[in-house]
Structure 1
Amino acid sequence: MHIIVLSRRHGAARSLSLDLRWLTLGLALLVALAVGGGAAVGAWLAPAGSALPDTIEITQALDAQRDEVGAVRVDAQRQLDAFAAHVAELQARLTRLDALGERLTELAELDASEFDFSLNVGQGGPEELLDGAAYAPPPFMTTLDDLALRMDSREQQLEVLEQLLADRRIDEAVMLSGHPVLQGYVSSPFGRRIDPLTGRVSVHKGVDFAAKAGSDVVAVGAGVVTFAGRRNGYGNTVEISHADGYLTLYAHNRSNRVQVGDLVQRGQTIGTVGSTGRSTGNHVHFEVSRNGQVVNPHSYIARAGDE
């Protein structure tokens, strides 16, 4: 191959003669050097034994992590909501327990300053740690469940106590005690006596209370009126049936204020003091019987001083 080279300054021409085989060999060497240099650059950029990460795989991994974080956040919020609802329920039950405690204090007539349910329970003591015993707090939900169980037990105990106190009040209400008049005195006791009308020895089945005419005659226990009317020798009479087979009788009344079937409470007015029937003056003839047998009213009258 002949190549002619022209010079601009002098206008001279030069002729070069190149062998085609040497030209082909040079081009081949240039291509080999270019390929080898690119491979060396790639090996220099990437560490040995590692591959470049795929962008799509990285994006997918990030999306999966975001989804996992979102699910954890939703689950945590659900647990917090359940925790808040559980705490609110426990607070409501504690409020009810406080109200029940105050009610029991009233029923038992206890000192309010001694059982003040608005204050924390006093407790404490020196700190004494056990060697080698590491404390591991339980999960908060387990702690709340244990507290709920303790509250259930405490509620049952308080309810039983309230029922016992209520039963005690009912027993006290139906218990016979006190005088059948608000003001008066015993004018004739129970048992053997001289009859005021005949002057002969007789048996007095009750106790007479002299009182002002027209003053109140009151029941000495809660019960049901089983008789209200006139009875031979007794005049205007009221009979009241009580628990455990007891019956009380109030005679010689000026008037009766109750009717058969009425429910009466202890201390309730059932008539007025008079002198009807076989009587020498204004008084109340008071009798007590149990299961049809007349008993001495003295022990029931004396209970008034023990209350």
Structure 2
Amino acid sequence: MNIIIVSRKHGRSRMVSSWLLAPVFLFVLVMVSALGYGGYRLFAPDEIVIIDSQAANAWADRVKLQAIELEKTQIYTEEQINALRIRLAELQARLTRIDALGERLVDVANLDEGEFDFSMPPAVGGPESSSVEANPPDFVDVLNELGLQIENREQQLRVLNSLLGDRKIQSETFVAGRPISKGWMSSRYGYRNDPFNGNLAWHDGVDFAGKDGSTIVSVASGVVTWAGERYGYGNLVEINHGNGYVTRYAHAKEVLVEVGDVIKKADVIALMGSTGRSTGPHVHFEVLLQGKSVDPAKYIDRVARF
């Protein structure tokens, strides 16, 4: 291949071989490539680095801090759960005491166990109604509120138990009833003819005749202040019931209690006999109020009102 070169100055043409121009084209090509690469490097954006070592270390430190916070949160949560367990156990114990106290009140007050059964949850009911959306209260607040309710119930039950206990004590120490299980009244209180000499004499009690060896019972709770032989009475049991009341049970065949014994109402204290100044098996029953004898007939048919 030949290339013709025309000169403008002299108007002459000249033929040049393509092989002589090859180095020139190669040089131009290299220069264009060099300039293109340099321009690309000059104007191309910097290489984007996704993560470097500094960022990686920062992330590692953050993960360690989060792990520490998570451990602290777990410890705090376990402590709170343990505290709630203890609180719940306290409430359950208090409920158990309330149930026990309630059952005792039912027994003391002679209430119907079927009506007040503390072993069963209270009966509730009602027609189903549309639900109301509400934010549920915090369970800690619920437990605290339940604790306050239980405390109020305990206080009320303590007051009620105290009142019923006082009523029970008053009922037990209330002098009333017959001092025998079986028998009949053979002599009344007041003036009568003495059974030994026939003269008019004062009788401080009432006599109940019955079968020899039959039981003599206390007409009220109290403490035994005399248990043994006394002149004219034979074998005598004397009981102090408080509030100024004392009862005496005389002519017993056998005394079954001792001084200092605490006696309950209707307890058997002696056996009927004819010891002392007596004409046959009977019990001489006296009631003393503030140290003075009173008519026992007023207390034999006495009815308690509490």
**TM-score grouping bracket, smaller chain normalisation:** 0.7 to 0.9
SS in 2 for 1:110: coil
CA RMSD of aligned residues (A): 3.6
TM-score, normalisation: structure 2: 0.76
- Distance verdict in 2 for CA 1:104–1:33, change over 3 Å: same
Distance 1:215 1:304 in 2: 25
- Distance verdict in 2 for CA 1:257–1:117, change over 3 Å: closer
- Distance verdict in 2 for CA 1:245–1:52, change over 3 Å: same
Distance 1:61 1:229 in 2: 94
Superposed CA offset, 1:7-44 (max 9, x none): xxxxxx965676xx98997687345324135x2475xx
- Distance verdict in 2 for CA 1:143–1:248, change over 3 Å: same
Runs of 5+ consecutive residues of structure 1 not aligned to the other structure: 1-12
Aligned to 2:9: none
**1:115 to partner: Cα distance:** 0.6
Aligned to 2:39: 33
Distance 2:251 2:78 in 1: 80
Q: CA contact under 8 A between 2:174 and 2:304: conserved in structure 1?
A: no
Shifted more, 117-126 versus 205-214: the winner is 117-126
Distance 1:148 1:103 in 2: 22
Distance 1:253 1:192 in 2: 23
Distance 1:111 1:88 in 2: 30
Aligned to 1:268: 267
Shifted more, 24-33 versus 66-75: the winner is 24-33
**1:209 to partner: Cα distance:** 0.4
Q: CA contact under 8 A between 2:232 and 2:277: conserved in structure 1?
A: yes
Distance 1:254 1:304 in 2: 30
Superposed CA offset, 1:76-99 (max 9, x none): 343333333322332333233223
- Distance verdict in 2 for CA 1:97–1:227, change over 3 Å: closer
Which aligned pairs between 1:116-155 and structure 2 lie closer than 5 A? 116-124=117-125, 135-155=134-154
Aligned to 2:81: 80
- Distance verdict in 2 for CA 1:299–1:126, change over 3 Å: same
Distance 1:305 1:195 in 2: 34
Aligned to 2:176: 177
- Distance verdict in 2 for CA 1:168–1:52, change over 3 Å: same
Which aligned pairs between 1:62-81 and structure 2 lie closer than 5 A? 62-81=63-82
Distance 2:220 2:20 in 1: 152
SS in 2 for 1:160: helix
Distance 2:260 2:117 in 1: 43
The code of the aligned residue for 1:110 comes to L
Superposed CA offset, 1:34-73 (max 9, x none): 4135x2475xxx6xxxx95654244444444444444434
**1:116 to partner: Cα distance:** 1.2
- Distance verdict in 2 for CA 1:232–1:91, change over 3 Å: closer
Shifted more, 93-102 versus 205-214: the winner is 93-102
Distance 1:210 1:280 in 2: 10
The code of the aligned residue for 1:274 comes to G
SS in 1 for 2:97: helix
**1:305 to partner: Cα distance:** 9.5
- Distance verdict in 2 for CA 1:23–1:183, change over 3 Å: closer
Distance 2:238 2:269 in 1: 10
- Distance verdict in 2 for CA 1:215–1:168, change over 3 Å: same
Q: CA contact under 8 A between 2:223 and 2:241: conserved in structure 1?
A: yes
SS in 2 for 1:258: coil
Task: Give the percent of matched residue pairs that are identical in Structure 1 and Structure 2.
Answer: 44
**1:121 to partner: Cα distance:** 1.9
Runs of 5+ consecutive residues of structure 2 not aligned to the other structure: 1-17
Size of the alignment, in residue pairs? 284
TM-score, normalisation: structure 1: 0.76
SS in 2 for 1:220: coil
Q: CA contact under 8 A between 2:187 and 2:208: conserved in structure 1?
A: yes
Distance 2:37 2:151 in 1: 91
Q: CA contact under 8 A between 2:210 and 2:281: conserved in structure 1?
A: yes
- Distance verdict in 2 for CA 1:186–1:89, change over 3 Å: same
Q: CA contact under 8 A between 2:171 and 2:304: conserved in structure 1?
A: no
